A and B are shown apart, each in its own frame.
Chain A
């Protein structure tokens, strides 16, 4: 089955700095890579996604890159704000939303 590894497990940045979270996946058949943000006591919320036919996607301060050859993808958050503090999960999807999640990154943005 698919295996997704995510690093780092915790990340602290100063407000205004950038944050980068990296993930690798094992199954080359995975073709959809969503990123979720989970705030304390809430369900995961989709923040950005990328499909395997695209190398990069950007939405305001958030961007995701995908390297299919190396089987890794990354989340980039620029100009971080305190409200960005949360746990972020990467995921890989084989095609019908049987999503395999990474273990999460706890991001803390220090004001």
Chain B
């Protein structure tokens, strides 16, 4: 059973471009969470999704950020018109329900 898979591991985008981050949860897990980690800081909750539903997006910036978890395929975190302040590590976690979550290795986004 493979762990949580995130890709790409590293992503470089120029200001104004779009960034797409992918997360494939562990087999059998229907709950996905996205977190952002700035250098030397802790993880900040962004969004909680179940298949085809956004359950809690209280940590998502109001503009430019969106997330989805379609019926088929990975969860996608999309950042439009990226700015330098979006540079961070983005982690995805999955769980089968009300139990511990398992994290992926993260995607390190650099905006130049």
Chain A residues with CB under 8 Å of chain B are 1, 6, 34, 36, 41-46, 49, 89, 95-104
Contacts and interface: CB of A to CB of B under 8 A. Distances in A.
Interface of B: 4, 31, 33, 35, 41-45, 48, 55-56, 58, 91, 93, 95, 98, 100-106
Interface of B is mostly: strand
Contact of B106 (A43, A97, A102): A43
A1 B58 CA distance: 10
Contacts, number: 54
Contacts of A34: 100
B56 A98 contact: yes
B55 A96 contact: yes
Given A43-B104, A46-B100, A96 B48 contact: yes
B50 to A, nearest CB: 10
B19 to A, nearest CB: 18
A102 B55 CA distance: 23
B44 A44 contact: no
Contact of A102 (B42, B56, B91, B98): B42
Contacts of B33: 97-99
Contacts of A36: 103
A96 B98 contact: yes
